[in-house]
Amino acid sequence: MTISPHLAAGHRLPQGWMTGLVLTAVLALGGCASVQLPAVVADLPIIGTKPLTPQEKQAWLDYRVQAAQHLVQANPQGTYMGEVPEPLLAIPVLEIELNADGSVADIEVKREPSQALDTVELAKAAVRRAAPFAPVGQLPKPWRFSEIFLFNDDRRFKPAILDR
């Protein structure tokens, strides 16, 4: 993967860049054809309102990986690991907002797939089953992050952050 010289040099991007990048990348996937998520999408730790320090970014990235692993462990019948199939059935995107104790405060749908609309509810139910997540009180606010759910034809998902 090549990194933009601006990012490599530590330049900050404007507010809202991450939401736009995630949604652009996901929407560019279209209906659910071949999926090759850019590595930078998986590295985006949180949708926030202020730039994060490198340490905060790493803490959120670590948290997201831990949360995705917890999501898989809490939903063994609804998940898969290993290679992501091509084409995917559906790719819903949820923004998950947490309370300080890791309980789910809100789940917002950021992207509905064009087919297999039931996968949105499957993803939301999986998040609710996995709750509570690890406490987030030590992380910078806002305590929310986006997760991309990669659904196969069996309606089983893999969190995209685990496909790095």
Write the class of the CATH domain 5-162: alpha beta
Q: How confident is the model at residue 82, as a pLDDT?
A: 93
Average pLDDT over residues 51-71: 95
Out of 26-35, 42-51, 88-97, 154-163, least confident range: 26-35
The tens digit of pLDDT for each residue in 117-150 reads 999 999 999 999 999 999 999 999 999 999 999 9
Quote the pTM value: 0.73
Q: How far apart are CA 113 and CA 95, in angstroms?
A: 15
Contact 46, 17 (CB under 8 A): no
Name the token pair of 66: 């831990």
pLDDT number for residue 164: 80
**Domain-wise residue ranges, the chain:** 5-162
How far apart are the C-alpha atoms of 153 and 134, rounded to whole Å? 30
pLDDT tens-digit profile of 15-37? 443 444 344 444 444 444 445 55
- Distance between CA atoms of residues 143 and 64, nearest Å: 11
More confident residue, 74 or 27: 74
